[in-house]
Structure 1
Amino acid sequence: LATVALAMMGVGAKAPTPEEVRLAVRWAVVPAHKGEEPPPELVRPCTWLSQRSRPLSDLQDPRVLRDVQYRLSFKLDDTPAAGETSKRRRRGFNTAMEYAIESGYLDANPLAGVKRAGPKGGDAVDPRVLVNAVQGSQLLTAVSYVGSVHRNRGRRLVAFFACQLYAAMRPAEAVGLREQDCHLPETGWGTLTLRETLPVSGKRWTDSGKRHDKRGLKSREAKADRPVPIPPILVAMLREHIEEFGTAQGGRLFANERGGVLGTSSYWRVWQEARPFALPPHRAAAPLARRPYDLRHTCITNWLNDGVPVAEVARRAGNSPEVIHRRYEGCIDGHEELNNAKIMSAMGWAEAASTAEEPG
């Protein structure tokens, strides 16, 4: 919405700068600020926006709509925004337009039928972020060396990152993982039954007034769950984690140092400190496993490269097969010859080829 406001702010000799507009909108849309006076540095842009912004009806004007579309797809320096950024902005604006329709301000969504601008396929996974088996093991070991022994900043998060590397869990799913959701036998494979996520939104944005809101699994019904089989190595790590650190309130496996809900900044800092321990300088400076989420990408890619059917990979990862195909197509290696052989066999060509190769 702060981006769209640049296209809807109106014109004038004393118009605020784009940076001021973005700061003003970001302040104004916070629910806790309703009825408050803006801070002194934002009084002028907030006043301008409230008095000079275009009405929603102007979105019926193709020129205005093209400007909105441009703002959704480009950055302030006029360079194209990342594909995922453009999609996220458009989703947010669509939500606002649907609300405007429900409230009677508009009859139809002005973006409906408008051709999308910007790059396509921008959410494809970059193969450079993926780690091999040795690097993955080294990174988990390095996590255990972060922080002093009595604080255990890193050691309490080794199994947390392992859930992403070996079970393709999203970080928010691992944050919400509880002991009662885990089947961890002494030997063999186990199962994690994922039921909720705890994404960070900030106290100003949640209904509960806490930094985390309880939500269902991504792209699923609110009460739906997702059983995920986990290999023996992850079973052992989770058993050891529970034995050493116990559980937090509600049976959660992973918590911050004070026993509260594990925040993004907490595990992000640990990860950034661990990478230089595990990787040589040229690797640490590269995109390799730059984000904890790259461990999930690695796990999904490994499943695909090991021949696990796409539908099963999608089920375990909590995605649709279409998303798996689109995002990971460029990461699948070594299957061309195998697939060629399957096609040869299906078409009856393999037998003919072997007969032709026989002597005499």
Structure 2
Amino acid sequence: MTVTYEVRIWEVRRNQSSKTPSFEARWKVGTKSRSKTFRTKALAENFLSDLRQAARKGEAFDVSTGMPASMLSAKAESAGPSFLTFARSYVIGRWRRTAPRTRETEAYALLSLIPALVADVPDRPEDDELRRVLRTRVLLPEDRQEELTRAQSAVLRWLEKASLPLVDLQEARVVRIALDAISVTFDGKEAAANTVRRKRAILHHLLESAVEQKIFATNPLHEIKWKPPKAVTVVDPRTVINPVQAKQLLTAVPKVGRTRGVRLRAMFACIYYAALRPEEAADLRSKNCTLPEAGWGRVILERARPQANKRWTNSGETHESRSLKHRAMKETREIPIPPVLVGILREHIDAYGTEDDGRLFRTTKGGSYSSSACSYVWQEARALVFTDEQMRSPLAARPYDLRHAALSLWLNAGVPATEVAQRAGHSVEVLHRVYAKCMEGQQERMNGKISTALDE
């Protein structure tokens, strides 16, 4: 612990950035300025009075925390759980109720927050060492934890010692440290807007849990003037292919590799012709399909098969069948499918049959295709069909863009938004917001109406 006797204490001031009345105690230890926010002016003045008394007695102040030795020991006794301890209990307490991808997302946010919310304790390990211990030990239930090496055990002991008390997040300075941490990637670059907003939402929910447990009176994030970066919430029309391009790509897919391409063609076709999410297509089973010899068919979706790191799944496998996105358990979604998709699925089943559990799409060994394998096949198919300029563009850059193309096509064909939303598994409001820029011809029609009105 680094200490100093150089202490300067200022008067209490009203916190102008707070929505509700609050007061800020300010002092300086060595070269570091400190502040702490209180609900009333009296509480802030009492806190500064304790600091002044400690300074008059000649106590040394800890540079990393800004506190005198007497108050530091008292704080340690009454501070409650550390941020590390509370974060772990937050993840483990929600484990049974959350999906594997949600667990992974929460842990990913905490990999940014926990290493940032620490005191200035000597011999700090490298950040990647801290994150490895968190990822493989701290943020997992006991029966999933990896054994630590001696070096990793030392890293964990440092983290347990250095982690700030959770109550320190009542200070605006500490909350801003947390917000800064979620605003950058692990290598210090500016994080994507959607990533920042997702991590901020997790931090908010974690602090709401602290409010629920009476650790905080209100959520400290509400006192901070901070705007998350604006995220893109609409589909980029440059990604949307037309029906001719879709057919060309689906024709090219079987030409990729020895077995992957021919086995994945029907799965990609489901994403385009039925607007399935990739994880929904991955769990499609023969019992879900009505495939007549002629005319339209139907699929009734029951489950999805998303991919996640196996440490976060219940089964310990990378793919795990679960309920449909945004749907209640056992709720289904019915989608009529056009004759072209009926024919493709019939050909696929005739050629490759189904897995013992009825799944249509699987590797030669019966497993599910990874997202990286699907992406590889898709990029190779794009290279067979597109020009160099198109390859460099976002046009159908991901298999998921087939779904965007399908929904855009349906909307532009005049299918009512309520029907499109039902087939897609969206709300109408989300559908209009996400696909607003993909509605071809809307601007021209609106311009015509305005011109008519101006001529009257």
TM range (shorter): 0.7 to 0.9
**In the superposition, relative to structure 1, how do residues 273 and 42 fare at CA in structure 2: closer, same or farther (>3 Å)?**
farther
Structure 1 residue aligned with 2:237: 127
**Maintained 8 Å contact 1:16/1:44:** no
Deviation larger for 310-319 or 41-50: 41-50
Q: 1:87 aligns with which of 197, 205, 213?
A: 197
CA distance in 2 between counterparts of 1:35 and 1:251 reads 34
Post-superposition shift, 1:79?
5.0
Partner of 2:125: helix, strand, or coil?
coil
Superposed displacement of residue 122, structure 1: 1.9
User: 1:71 maps to which residue?
Assistant: 181
- The residue that corresponds to 1:62 in the other structure is 172
> 1:141-185: CA deviations, max 9, x gaps?
11101112xxx2111110100111111111100011111111222
| Displacement after TM superposition at 1:329 (Å) | 1.7
Aligned match of 2:123: 14
CA deviation after TM superposition for structure 1 residue 112, in Å = 5.4
Structure 2 CA distance for partners of 1:111 and 1:251, relative to 1, 3 Å: farther
RMSD between aligned alpha carbons? 2.9
Q: Which amino acid in the other structure matches residue 136 of structure 2?
A: W
Rate the CA distance shift 1:306–1:340 in 2: closer, same or farther, 3 A: farther
Task: Determine the structure 1 residue equivalent to 2:408.
Answer: 301
1:321 corresponds to 2:414 = no
In structure 2, do the counterparts of structure 1 residues 118 and 97 end up closer, same or farther at CA, with 3 Å as the change threshold?
closer
Counterpart of 1:186, as a letter, is E
Whether the 8 Å contact between 1:178 and 1:252 is mirrored in structure 2 is yes
Change in Cα spacing, 1:207 to 1:296, as seen in structure 2 (3 Å) is: same
Residues 200 and 212 in structure 1, CA contact (< 8 A), matched pair in contact too? yes
Cα distance in structure 2, aligned partners of 1:183 and 1:116: 52
- Retained in 2: the 8 A contact 1:38–1:46? no
- 1:249 deviation in Å? 2.3
Aligned partners of 2:374, 2:161: CA distance in 1, in Å?
A: 43
Larger Rg: 2
Write 1 or 2 for the structure with the bigger share of strand. Answer: 2
| Residue of structure 1 equivalent to 2:398 | 291
What's 2:354 paired with?
Answer: 247
The answer as to whether partners of 2:304 and 2:324 remain within 8 angstroms in 1 is yes
Instruction: Please say if residues 183 and 190 of structure 2, whose CA atoms lie closer than 8 Å, have aligned partners that are also in contact.
Output: yes
> How many Å separate the matches in 2 of 1:266 and 1:77?
27
> Which residue number corresponds to residue 228 of structure 1?
335
Do the aligned partners of residues 94 and 261 (structure 1) sit closer, same or farther apart at CA in structure 2, a change above 3 Å counting? farther
Q: 2:418 aligns with which of 311, 314, 324?
A: 311
Aligned counterparts of 1:249 and 1:32: Cα–Cα separation in 2: 33
Q: Does 1:2 align with 2:111?
A: yes
> Structure 2 CA distance, aligned partners of 1:80 and 1:330?
27
**Aligned partner letter, 1:248:** E
Point out where structure 2 has 5 or more consecutive residues left out of the alignment.
1-109
Matched residue type, 1:133: P
The CA deviation string for residues 16-60 of structure 1, in whole angstroms up to 9 with x for no partner, is 344443344323324467665434664554332221011222222
Q: Which moved more, 1:282-291 or 1:23-32?
A: 23-32
Separation in 2, partners of 1:278, 1:298: 17
Mapped contact 1:32–1:204 kept (Cα < 8 A): no
What is the identity, as a one-letter code, of the residue corresponding to 2:442? H
TM-score normalised by L of structure 1: 0.84
Cα distance in 2 for partners of 1:113, 1:330 equals: 36
| C-alpha distance in structure 1 between counterparts of 2:134 and 2:340, whole Å | 48
Task: Indicate conservation of the 8 Å contact 2:136/2:146, yes or no.
Answer: no
Post-superposition offset of 1:312: 2.3
Of the three residues 25, 38, 41, the one matched with 2:134 is: 25
| Structure 2 counterparts to residues 263-278 of structure 1, below 5 A | 263-278=370-385
Any idea what SS the aligned residue of 2:160 has? Answer: helix
- Structure 1, gaps ≥5 residues long: none
Judge conservation of contact 2:282–2:368 (CA < 8 Å) in 1: yes
Deviations along 1:105-129, one digit per CA (max 9) or x if unpaired, are: 6565544576663322423222222
- Using a 3 Å threshold, how does the CA distance of structure 1 residues 96 and 279 change in structure 2: closer, same or farther? same
Percent identity of paired positions between Structure 1 and Structure 2:
44
Distance 2:307 2:271 in 1: 18
Higher relative contact order (CA 8 A, sep 6+): 1
